[in-house]
Amino acid sequence: MADWARSEVELIVADYFSMLNEELIGNSYNKAFHRKALLPLLRNRTEGSIEFKHQNISAALINLGMPYILGYKPRFNYQRELLEKVILEYVELSKEKLEPRFKAFAEGVPIIKSGIIDYKNFIENPPDKGNVAESGINYERRRPFKINYLEREQMNLTLGENGEQLVLEYEKWQLVHAGKDRLAEEIRWVAYEDDGAGFDILSKNLNGTDKYIEVKTTKLTKEAPFFFSKNEYECSKAKAANYHLYRVFQFLKAPKMYKAQGRFDEFCQVEAIGFRGFF
């Protein structure tokens, strides 16, 4: 099938943002209705190709540091130059409407009541390594916002604490479920006492050894990138055998989690995005 023309990309980007706006303010919408409405406006496209392009837009928004539609799993093999250019042009024209929406996404957080999570169906596999974001954001791009809203969301203290509380309860449930009630009583919420430890929760393996857990929480899907400090990175190297990343995602609606064990650079792509200068 032929590459998408600029006029087609402009149409589908505008359609995507209309849905994203509804999602960010909590309104319901019908993705199938949107796809069918686009069909007669495009050049012999199928609903499948439209859905795929919507997923490409999700990926582009991740690379540009913006939230995306939960129902469109990011696919990163897209017409990078054209798609990102059209997105940036659209966002530039819509900044006054989008900026408060993105700010509310990053700073707002729902409260998840304890006891309502089905821990038996809580864990999923990590993202497919064959479908990953590019290695970092290209800072030579003209970016309409100074803020990376994905990073800003992770800095949301209430969201982070709620994610840690959820993991704390999951770890206790897991140990009690395995008949290790005494070990469950020894779990500590370390980040609540010391946020410089390099991990958030000190749990226990079934054999009684220590288990160091770093929790990263997002309201987006598991494909969203996460951010970690040099201290956390060094801790993952020093305690690699018992260091775990617990990535809580979809926190807004139906929280899920995936796990990864070892050093950060063993289970994900690691890139330095900040430096410190001193004399």
Residue 136 has a pLDDT of 45
pLDDT tens digits for range 21-50: 999 999 999 999 999 999 999 999 999 999
CB 86 within 8 A of CB 10: yes
pLDDT tens digits for range 125-178: 998 765 655 544 454 556 678 899 999 999 999 999 999 999 999 999 999 999
Residue 208 has a pLDDT of 97
CB 59 within 8 A of CB 76: yes
pTM of the model: 0.91
Lowest-pLDDT choice from 66-75, 121-130, 230-239: 121-130
Nearest to 187 by CA among 204, 162, 175, 170: 204
Residue 139 has a pLDDT of 44
pLDDT tens digits for range 88-114: 999 999 999 999 999 999 998 777 655
Write out the two tokens for 84. 């990102």
Q: Is 248 left (phi over 0), alpha (psi -120 to 50) or beta?
A: beta
Nearest to 132 by CA among 76, 84, 83: 76
pLDDT tens digits for range 191-211: 988 888 999 999 999 999 999
The separation between the first and the last C-alpha atoms of the chain, rounded to the nearest angstrom, is: 57
Q: How far apart are CA 209 and CA 139, in angstroms?
A: 43
Nearest to 84 by CA among 42, 142, 152: 142
Q: What are phi and psi of 261, to 5 degrees?
A: -125, 145
Q: How far apart are CA 224 and CA 212, in angstroms?
A: 23
Contacts of 47 (CB under 8 A, 6+ apart): 32, 35, 36, 39
- Average confidence score pLDDT of the chain: 91
Is pLDDT larger for residue 110 or for residue 228?
228
